[in-house]
């Protein structure tokens, strides 16, 4: 990741040895993702059950369901529930954040209507998602995933998840677990980064003293956390048709990569790019083009607005309480499909 970042700072568009085309110029990256010419495939990985993309009307129905669920939620309540749950936990930070965010989303995820669904999701987070997120397991435990998907599918069929789109029996459990991933995965990583950023000095090389001052709006703390540590650290899009990006020819079958992490730390776009400085957001007239934690265009995150609001509320809650005690267990961040902090244990040494 560091090598990719260094190359991005030097070269706006390049092809990697593996054949991906990396676009690290903010204006070009936005054009690529907005994709007015329909040159790219925008179905996110988690709407691909068994690696087969869902038909566009099904994706649209799922996105509408997510959107409707979020509009009924109060970001302040979600944040209070999640922060309280993490603060009450001892043990692995990633695990604690995953469970806390799932619990905070218990209403849309249907735990209230089906007691076994909470246990099924808990097992999915512990035995499948946690390993994928931290890199502890390279491949998911397919048997465990299928067993849990079948259990979740039965609960969804019995009406446990209100408003969930009507889907083929064979895939509905898997799609539900992918919806859990959408609700919980990146949000849990963002919460973990926020806890680390507010708590452990070793993650933040330098900080401005104002960063914890009460006059920094919590939204700016949330935005600065998403800038330095974007859980979706790169946006990948398969190319459907040959075309050009700047001087580079891209071909059907290539993969385009927009490296959000590199863009959000690029010295051309951000003064003191590596500095954790929430106050910078007050100096900006608008969100910079190089800020792309949720992607843009078709396939962009439908939870983006909600995420910033609840993360801001979480920053406010965390600043108002004693710091969560953390012991760091690994030297480097976890870089998988999700970018999350080094492993930590919650609790005193």
**Footprint on this chain of ligand HEM (rule: CB under 6 A):** 44-45, 47, 59, 63, 66, 70, 182-183, 186-187, 190, 231-232, 235, 293-295, 299-303, 306-307
E strands in 221-338 = 235-238, 243-245, 248-250, 255-258, 326-328, 334-335
Question: Angle at Cα 115 formed by Cα 311 and Cα 110, nearest 5°?
Answer: 45
**Minimum distance between the CB of residue 186 and ligand HEM, rounded to whole angstroms?**
3
Which CB, 56 or 323, lies closer to ligand HEM? Answer: 56
How many whole angstroms separate alpha carbon 12 and alpha carbon 31?
A: 14
SS (H, E, C) 72-87: CCCHHHHHHHHHHHHH
Residue nearest to ligand HEM (CB): 303
**Minimum distance between the CB of residue 133 and ligand HEM, rounded to whole angstroms?**
13
* Residue 48 exposed, middle or buried by CB count within 10 Å (0-12, 13-18, 19+): middle
**Minimum distance between the CB of residue 224 and ligand HEM, rounded to whole angstroms?**
13
Which CB, 120 or 181, lies closer to ligand HEM? Answer: 181
Phi, psi (rounded to 5 degrees) for 214: -65, -20
**Minimum distance between the CB of residue 46 and ligand HEM, rounded to whole angstroms?**
7
Which CB, 49 or 293, lies closer to ligand HEM? Answer: 293
Which CB, 70 or 98, lies closer to ligand HEM? Answer: 70
**Minimum distance between the CB of residue 143 and ligand HEM, rounded to whole angstroms?**
26
Which three-class secondary structure state does DSSP give residue 14?
strand
**Minimum distance between the CB of residue 230 and ligand HEM, rounded to whole angstroms?**
6
**Minimum distance between the CB of residue 209 and ligand HEM, rounded to whole angstroms?**
27
Which CB, 102 or 214, lies closer to ligand HEM? Answer: 102
Task: Please state the length of the chain.
Answer: 349
How many whole angstroms separate alpha carbon 171 and alpha carbon 153?
A: 8
How many whole angstroms separate alpha carbon 35 and alpha carbon 23?
A: 13
Which CB, 38 or 347, lies closer to ligand HEM? Answer: 38
Non-local CB neighbours of 309 within 8 Å, separated by 6+ positions: 75, 219
User: In whole angstroms, how far apart are CA 20 and each of 14, 254, 259?
Assistant: 8, 6, 11
Which CB, 71 or 247, lies closer to ligand HEM? Answer: 71
Q: Hunting for tokens 């040895």 — which residue is that?
A: 17
């Amino acid at each position: 990741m560091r090598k990719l970042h260094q190359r991005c700072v030097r070269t706006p568009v390049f092809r990697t040895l593996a054949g991906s085309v990396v676009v690290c110029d903010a204006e070009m990256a936005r054009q690529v993702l907005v994709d007015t010419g329909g040159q790219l495939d925008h179905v996110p990985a988690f709407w691909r059950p068994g690696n087969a993309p869902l038909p566009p009307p099904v994706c649209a129905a799922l996105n509408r369901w997510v959107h409707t669920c979020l509009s009924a939620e109060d970001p302040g309540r979600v944040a209070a529930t999640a922060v309280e749950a993490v603060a009450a936990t001892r043990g692995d930070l990633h695990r604690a954040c995953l469970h806390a965010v799932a619990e905070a989303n218990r209403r849309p995820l249907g735990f209230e209507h089906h007691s076994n669904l909470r246990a099924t999701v808990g097992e999915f987070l512990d035995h499948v998602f946690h390993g994928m997120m931290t890199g502890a397991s390279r491949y998911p435990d397919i048997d465990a995933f299928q067993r849990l998907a079948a259990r979740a599918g039965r609960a969804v069929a019995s009406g446990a998840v209100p408003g969930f789109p009507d889907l083929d029996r064979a895939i509905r459990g898997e799609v539900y677990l992918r919806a859990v991933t959408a609700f919980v995965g990146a949000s849990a990583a963002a919460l973990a980064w926020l806890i680390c950023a507010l708590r452990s000095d070793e993650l933040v090389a330098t900080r401005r003293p104002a960063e914890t001052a009460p006059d920094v709006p919590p939204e700016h703390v949330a935005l600065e956390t998403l800038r330095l540590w974007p859980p979706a650290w790169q946006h990948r899009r398969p190319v459907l048709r040959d075309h050009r990006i700047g001087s580079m020819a891209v071909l059907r079958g290539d993969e385009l990569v927009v490296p959000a992490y590199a863009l959000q730390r690029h010295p051309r776009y951000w003064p003191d790019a590596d500095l954790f400085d929430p106050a910078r957001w007050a100096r900006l007239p608008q969100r910079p083009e190089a800020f792309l934690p949720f992607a843009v265009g078709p396939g962009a995150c439908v939870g983006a607005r909600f995420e910033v609001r609840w993360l801001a509320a979480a920053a406010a809650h965390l600043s108002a309480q004693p710091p969560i005690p953390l012991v760091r267990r690994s030297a480097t961040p976890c870089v998988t499909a999700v970018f999350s902090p080094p492993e930590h244990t919650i609790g005193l040494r």
